[in-house]
């Protein structure tokens, strides 16, 4: 019998005086087992286990019945729950009895729990009783074991103490087998990083679902507990819900333990949480894990009447790195994020220069007049502030001085992002003719610009109270973006700064621009002017000023840029901390209107866009007329005169005459025709009057692919180049579209009138006795009640328009790199199909099918197979269906597992980015998704970029990143605890003084000369 004296402090932590608690006693069988266990790589060792067995329910009821007859209530065997009556942790519960033999000569006993003998200590004896203390983790309890005689008590005590003394030898033997006779590799504590990834198909804890959470335990101690995921059988734990924890242990202690125990429970607000299942992770698995995904099947918890439970749980384990430990310490103690994460989000800090408010605008002097001889010069106060190096000179400047200063190169740059294909240098120079979004008078628009590129976002300083703001070289206006994908767009959003901190107040959008970079050339300085619109996705838009930017592309490997488009474009997301910044990023990328929400004008715009596909017929009609009438398109210069050779007409004539004579060439001709159509479209664009609509040539891309660099040198584009021709072309194009739309509308009205007239005639002929059709009201009906019907229509139309836009942009070479690969692929397939004997394949395929399926031997198929299908019993047919279903499930199991893992990774990455950068997330498009493409205005211009020679010291400082602030992007790498990917922003190569020694100004003399610089370096080395 076991007597449990009431402890001073109960298991639940409440103080319970002994006088108020009765003694509890139970009949148990306590066994001490020595078990021979095999090592995982040969060898064997012994373990000693104390195992406790209880009488089963039937025996316990019979014993209590006898005791009640004797009126001995104190000796009644009380059926108390395990966690109330014993300190046994769930991992000690005896759920697996395969290593133990049944008790000899004892019937009616059932296994209860077990624990290693090292957890028990003999505290003393009292006649037939032995006092033992059981220590499991932080819990200690004392039990009195009462035997039938003093001899039995003494014998059990001797066995227990003997095995306790031998425990050290057993442990040494076990470690000797585990580590092959050597000392453990790590003598100190090993820190493991453990991630509870997800569970699926978990048991139902409530009516139809569960609220699961997981408790991780080691050596009797709970080491971690996740948060509850409500109402799901397929939970995914993230950093927000406690998926990660650190676990420390020595190698010896780990291998001497049972390993890690994970218990899955269902949270219940009322009553005790239900145990859904558990699983062990063996010490060897924990010790050798390297972060791979481990999946475990749940087993029933001790005391459960179920032999099996459904459900799986996935975890990851690896040795913790220094970054992991720092992260977890900060995460657990809710400290600030790492400095790297803080720097990654500092570009969106709201504390920008400028934006003083309405009251300050009224009392601040913004202009002044000075005399320069007889001239009266009007000067403006420089905003957001003067040059710190020339404060007196640059506090007040005239309009001409501001324009001259604005054209200088920026003093400081933000080095942003993690791409490796190249660099994009962007400077915001100014805006013109912006609307006033403030109260008026002296209080005018406080302008700033947000720049979004891939997973990076930066903002300029605020130029307050100005409708034609200019950002000067010393202000925050310049950024260097590292290119990750060559098709990425640069998004610019112009906003009116709102200083309010109210939750609903946003920075007002003035306009936005999507800058296409695919057709820009490297080593060219572009100064481009764009018109500003609030949206580019629906037709309801108007011009709201313009923005001027200066940008330049740096590309080291042209072939790598081209090859990057062979892979699907990555998905980029930007996380920010505040709702205000989230709206800035959202407006910059997508415009003013959120087309994911329901609005009838979005439906009308999508329908209008789909109907506008007829505009493509204008391209086709032009191309067809050029093709049929042999109009020249390719310029050829002969004898000092330029002729336009009809290359497309000649190619069409030759190819069609060959296909007519040899029809087997039709498949190859079809692909060649599509490729040639793409080339013709490219040629059409290259002959447009405005150079800003030109695209890169197919042959240029092909040369880059084979030789590694582009053959086209940077060239100039003059301001207003071919302006008259471009304006005339644009007006002619709009006129053509207008005339086409008017003709279509007129035809629609005539058809409608004819239909109404026909309907009237049918009404006169038909039955007019139906009074339900009389007095019909054709008045307007509110659209809102039909939202449930129209919103799915809007979503489908949005998807159709999205795909139509992507196809259109590829066909008209707006996506230059993708268009090249589509064209090249068509030509390659066409060449391959030239060598395929189509007639031979078709003829022999038909012969095989006819001879195999229509011959007289099909009668044998009927006799030996088809006729026997009817002889199957219902059970056999059901068995075949079950086997077929089983095969289908096995075939889809891999796909389901892959989809589940992708969903887990996406949720965990989203949660980690929210932890690092902020909870507000915005998707940044890579490929073009807008209905309207932003094209530079005619006043834009471009010049080949030639960097000025610099002294060695200044060039070395420039390549080392001087005057730059490094801000990493939001791209995370690694698993479990991903890190922010970092790219060195220094251009200086390892082992060399400079990356571009050809830019050193060797003619300069004095202390800045190259010789003087080398002398200084040499003196430092000698010292």
Place of tokens 């991992």: 91
The mean pLDDT of 811-830, rounded to a whole number, is 92
Rounded-to-5 percentages of helix, strand, coil across the chain = 40, 25, 35
Is pLDDT above 70 for 882?
Answer: yes
Q: Which of 183, 184, 307, 319 is nearest to 248 (CA)?
A: 319
Please tell me the distance from the alpha carbon of residue 675 to that of residue 826, in angstroms, as a whole number: 5
Contact 267, 211 (CB under 8 A): yes
With cut-offs at 50, 70 and 90, classify the pLDDT of residue 336: very low
Q: What pLDDT is attached to residue 940?
A: 94
Please tell me the distance from the alpha carbon of residue 893 to that of residue 911, in angstroms, as a whole number: 27
Of residues 141 and 849, the one with the higher pLDDT is 849
Q: 262-266, 340-344, 975-979: lowest mean pLDDT where? A: 340-344
Q: What pLDDT is attached to residue 988?
A: 59
Which among 434-448, 792-806, 825-839 has the top mean pLDDT? 825-839
Which among 114-128, 572-586, 966-980, 993-1007 has the top mean pLDDT? 572-586
Is pLDDT above 50 for 184?
Answer: yes
The number of helices, as runs of H, and strands, as runs of E, in the chain is 27, 36
Q: What pLDDT is attached to residue 21?
A: 44
Contact 569, 966 (CB under 8 A): no
3-state secondary structure of 515: strand
Is pLDDT above 90 for 452?
Answer: yes
What confidence tens digit (pLDDT) does each residue in 268-309 have? 888 888 889 999 898 889 988 999 999 999 988 876 778 889
Q: What pLDDT is attached to residue 512?
A: 94
Contact 985, 965 (CB under 8 A): no
Q: What pLDDT is attached to residue 198?
A: 93
Half-sphere exposure of 1008 (CA within 13 A, CB side): 11
Is pLDDT above 60 for 326?
Answer: yes
The mean pLDDT of 624-630, rounded to a whole number, is 78
Kindly give the interhelix angle for 816-834 and 787-811, rounded to the nearest 10 degrees: 70
What confidence tens digit (pLDDT) does each residue in 756-766 have? 776 666 655 54
Q: What pLDDT is attached to residue 266?
A: 92
- Residue-averaged pLDDT of the chain: 79
Q: Which of 966, 910, 925, 964 is nearest to 346 (CA)?
A: 966
Q: What pLDDT is attached to residue 783?
A: 46
Kind of pairing between the strands at 312-319 and 190-200: antiparallel
Is pLDDT above 80 for 842?
Answer: yes
The count of other CB atoms within 10 Å of the CB of residue 405 is 17
Q: What pLDDT is attached to residue 7?
A: 43
Q: What percent of the chain has pLDDT over 70?
A: 76
The count of other CB atoms within 10 Å of the CB of residue 649 is 17
Is pLDDT above 80 for 515?
Answer: yes
Is pLDDT above 70 for 103?
Answer: no
Q: What pLDDT is attached to residue 227?
A: 93
Tokens, residue 617: 């017929």
**Who contacts 759 (Cβ-Cβ below 8 Å, separation ≥6)?**
none
Tokens, residue 40: 């995982």
Q: What pLDDT is attached to residue 11?
A: 37
3-state secondary structure of 76: coil
Tokens, residue 761: 């005639």
Q: 113-127, 314-328, 359-373: lowest mean pLDDT where? A: 359-373
Q: 39-53, 130-144, 381-395, 931-945: lowest mean pLDDT where? A: 39-53
Q: What pLDDT is attached to residue 435?
A: 92
Is pLDDT above 60 for 170?
Answer: yes
The mean pLDDT of 832-859, rounded to a whole number, is 89
Kind of pairing between the strands at 413-416 and 964-967: parallel
With cut-offs at 50, 70 and 90, classify the pLDDT of residue 827: very high
Is pLDDT above 70 for 812?
Answer: yes
Q: What pLDDT is attached to residue 753?
A: 77
CA distances from residue 638 to 117, 481, 635, 939 in whole angstroms, order as listed: 102, 46, 10, 34
With cut-offs at 50, 70 and 90, classify the pLDDT of residue 530: very high
Is pLDDT above 80 for 793?
Answer: yes
The mean pLDDT of 930-951, rounded to a whole number, is 86
For 899, phi and psi rounded to 5 degrees?
-65, -40
Is pLDDT above 90 for 128?
Answer: no
Is pLDDT above 60 for 641?
Answer: yes
Q: What pLDDT is attached to residue 895?
A: 80
Cis peptide bond upstream of 549, omega within 30: no
**Who contacts 408 (Cβ-Cβ below 8 Å, separation ≥6)?**
473
Place of tokens 């644009």: 730
Q: What pLDDT is attached to residue 780?
A: 37
Burial class (CB in 10 A: 0-12, 13-18, 19+), 467: middle
Place of tokens 């607000």: 269
**Who contacts 751 (Cβ-Cβ below 8 Å, separation ≥6)?**
none
With cut-offs at 50, 70 and 90, classify the pLDDT of residue 782: very low
* DSSP track, 608-673: HHHHGGGGHHHHHHHHHHHHHTT---EEEEETTEEEEE-HHHHHHHHHHHHHHH-GGGHHHHHHHH
R_g of the chain, CA atoms, integer Å: 40
Tokens, residue 708: 């590694």
What confidence tens digit (pLDDT) does each residue in 34-54 have? 777 665 555 677 888 888 877
Q: 86-90, 705-709, 838-842, 995-999: lowest mean pLDDT where? A: 86-90
The mean pLDDT of 852-874, rounded to a whole number, is 78
Half-sphere exposure of 727 (CA within 13 A, CB side): 6
Contact 108, 56 (CB under 8 A): yes
What's the predicted TM-score (pTM) here? 0.79
With cut-offs at 50, 70 and 90, classify the pLDDT of residue 16: very low
Is pLDDT above 70 for 744?
Answer: no
Which among 357-371, 471-485, 883-897 has the top mean pLDDT? 471-485
Taking the chain, what is the end-to-end CA distance rounded to the nearest angstrom? 85
**Who contacts 833 (Cβ-Cβ below 8 Å, separation ≥6)?**
667, 668, 671
Tokens, residue 897: 């597992």
With cut-offs at 50, 70 and 90, classify the pLDDT of residue 27: confident
Q: What pLDDT is attached to residue 88?
A: 45
Q: What pLDDT is attached to residue 483?
A: 92
Q: What pLDDT is attached to residue 963?
A: 76
Contact 826, 636 (CB under 8 A): no
Q: What percent of the chain has pLDDT over 90?
A: 26
The count of other CB atoms within 10 Å of the CB of residue 409 is 11
Place of tokens 């700064």: 497
With cut-offs at 50, 70 and 90, classify the pLDDT of residue 501: low
Q: Which of 73, 51, 56, 220 is nearest to 141 (CA)?
A: 220
Q: What pLDDT is attached to residue 78?
A: 46
Please tell me the distance from the alpha carbon of residue 903 to that of residue 891, in angstroms, as a whole number: 20
Please tell me the distance from the alpha carbon of residue 765 to that of residue 37, in angstroms, as a whole number: 98
Please tell me the distance from the alpha carbon of residue 436 to that of residue 545, in angstroms, as a whole number: 11
What confidence tens digit (pLDDT) does each residue in 653-685 have? 888 888 888 888 889 999 998 998 898 888 888
**Who contacts 670 (Cβ-Cβ below 8 Å, separation ≥6)?**
830
């Amino acid at each position: 019998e076991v007597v449990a004296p009431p402890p001073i402090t109960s298991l639940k932590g409440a103080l319970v005086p002994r006088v108020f608690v009765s003694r509890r006693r139970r009949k148990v069988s306590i066994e001490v087992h020595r078990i021979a266990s095999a090592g995982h790589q040969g060898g064997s060792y012994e373990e000693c286990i104390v195992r406790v067995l209880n009488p089963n329910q039937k025996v316990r009821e019979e014993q209590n019945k006898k005791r009640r007859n004797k009126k001995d209530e104190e000796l009644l065997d009380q059926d108390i729950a395990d966690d109330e009556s014993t300190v046994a942790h769930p991992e000690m519960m005896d759920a697996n009895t395969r290593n133990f033999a049944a008790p000899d000569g004892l019937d009616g006993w059932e296994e209860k729990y077990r624990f290693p003998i090292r957890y028990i200590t003999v505290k003393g004896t009292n006649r037939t009783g032995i006092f033992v203390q059981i220590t499991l983790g932080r819990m200690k309890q004392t039990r009195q074991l009462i035997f039938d005689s003093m001899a039995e008590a003494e014998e059990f005590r001797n066995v227990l103490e003997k095995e306790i003394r031998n425990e050290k030898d057993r442990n040494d033997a076990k470690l000797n087998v585990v580590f092959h006779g050597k000392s453990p590799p790590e003598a100190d504590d090993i820190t493991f990083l453990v991630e509870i990834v997800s569970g699926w198909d978990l048991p139902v804890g409530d009516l139809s679902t569960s609220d699961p959470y997981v408790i991780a335990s080691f050596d009797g101690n709970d080491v971690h507990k996740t948060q509850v995921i409500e109402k799901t059988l397929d939970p995914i734990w993230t950093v927000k819900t406690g998926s990660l924890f650190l676990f420390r242990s020595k190698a010896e202690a780990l291998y001497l333990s049972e390993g890690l125990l994970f218990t899955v429970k269902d949270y219940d607000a009322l009553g005790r949480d239900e145990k859904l299942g558990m699983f062990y992770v063996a010490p060897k698995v924990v010790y050798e894990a390297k972060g791979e995904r481990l999946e475990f099947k749940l087993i029933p918890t001790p005391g459960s009447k179920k032999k099996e439970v459904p459900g799986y749980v996935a975890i990851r384990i690896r040795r913790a790195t220094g970054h992991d430990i720092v992260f977890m310490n900060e995460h657990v103690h809710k400290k600030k994020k790492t400095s790297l994460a803080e720097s990654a989000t500092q570009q969106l800090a709201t504390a920008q220069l400028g934006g003083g408010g309405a009251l300050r605008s009224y009392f601040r002097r913004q202009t002044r007049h000075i005399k320069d001889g007889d001239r009266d010069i009007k000067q403006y106060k420089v905003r957001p502030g003067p040059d710190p190096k020339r404060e007196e000179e640059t506090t007040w400047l005239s309009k001409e001085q501001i324009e001259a200063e604005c054209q200088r190169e920026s003093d400081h740059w933000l080095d942003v992002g993690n791409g490796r294909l190249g660099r994009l240098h962007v400077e915001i120079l100014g805006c013109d003719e912006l609307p006033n979004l403030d109260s008026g008078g002296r209080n005018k628009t406080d302008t700033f610009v947000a720049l979004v590129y891939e997973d990076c976002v930066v903002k300029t300083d605020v130029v307050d109270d100005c409708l034609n703001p200019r950002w000067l070289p010393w202000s925050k206006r310049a950024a260097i973006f590292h290119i990750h994908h060559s098709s990425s767009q640069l998004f610019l959003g112009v906003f009116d700064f709102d200083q309010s901190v109210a939750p609903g107040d946003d920075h007002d959008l003035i306009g936005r621009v999507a800058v296409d970079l695919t057709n820009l050339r490297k080593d060219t300085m572009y100064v481009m002017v764009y018109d500003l619109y609030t949206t580019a996705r629906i037709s309801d838009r108007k011009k709201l000023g313009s923005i001027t930017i200066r940008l330049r592309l740096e590309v080291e490997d042209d072939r790598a840029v081209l090859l990057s488009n062979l892979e699907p474009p990555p998905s980029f997301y930007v996380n920010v901390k505040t709702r205000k910044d989230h709206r800035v990023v959202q407006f910059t990328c997508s415009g003013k209107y959120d087309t994911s929400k329901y609005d009838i004008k979005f439906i009308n715009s999508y329908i209008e866009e789909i109907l506008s596909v007829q505009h493509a017929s204008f391209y086709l009609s032009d191309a067809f007329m050029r093709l049929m009438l042999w109009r020249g398109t390719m310029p050829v210069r002969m004898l000092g005169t330029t002729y336009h050779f009809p290359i497309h007409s000649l190619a069409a004539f030759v190819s069609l005459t060959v296909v007519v004579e040899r029809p087997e060439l039709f498949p190859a001709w079809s692909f060649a025709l599509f490729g040639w159509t793409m080339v013709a479209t490219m040629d059409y664009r290259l002959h447009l009057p405005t150079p800003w609509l030109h695209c890169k040539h197919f042959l240029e891309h092909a040369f880059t692919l084979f030789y590694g660099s582009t053959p086209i040198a940077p060239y100039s584009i003059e301001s207003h180049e071919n302006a008259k021709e471009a304006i005339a072309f644009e007006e002619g194009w709009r006129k053509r579209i207008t005339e086409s739309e008017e003709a279509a509308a007129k035809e629609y009205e005539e058809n409608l009138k004819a239909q109404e007239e026909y309907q009237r005639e049918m009404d006169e002929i038909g039955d007019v006795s139906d009074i339900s059709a009389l007095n019909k009201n054709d008045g307007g009906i509110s659209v809102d009640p039909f939202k449930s019907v129209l919103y799915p229509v809007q979503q489908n139309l949005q998807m159709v328009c999205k795909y139509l836009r992507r196809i259109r942009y590829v066909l008209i070479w707006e996506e230059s790199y993708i268009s090249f690969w589509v064209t090249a692929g068509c030509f390659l397939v066409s060449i391959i199909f030239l060598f395929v004997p189509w007639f031979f394949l078709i003829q022999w395929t038909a012969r095989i099918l006819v001879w195999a399926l229509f011959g007289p031997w099909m009668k044998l198929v009927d006799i030996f197979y088809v006729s026997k299908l009817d002889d199957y019993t219902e059970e056999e047919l059901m068995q075949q269906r079950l086997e077929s279903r089983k095969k289908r499930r096995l075939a889809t199991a891999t796909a389901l597992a892959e989809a589940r893992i992708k969903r887990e990774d996406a949720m965990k990455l989203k949660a980690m980015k929210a932890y690092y950068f902020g909870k507000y997330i915005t998707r940044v498009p890579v490929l073009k998704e807008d209905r309207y493409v932003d094209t530079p205005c005619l006043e834009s211009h471009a010049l080949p970029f030639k960097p000025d020679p610099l002294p060695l010291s200044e060039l070395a400082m420039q390549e080392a990143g001087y005057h730059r602030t490094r801000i990493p992007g939001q791209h995370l790498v690694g698993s479990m605890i991903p890190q922010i990917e970092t790219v060195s922003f220094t251009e200086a190569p390892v082992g060399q003084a400079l990356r571009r020694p050809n830019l050193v100004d060797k003619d300069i003399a004095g202390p800045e000369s190259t010789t003087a610089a080398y002398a200084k370096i040499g003196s430092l080395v000698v010292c």
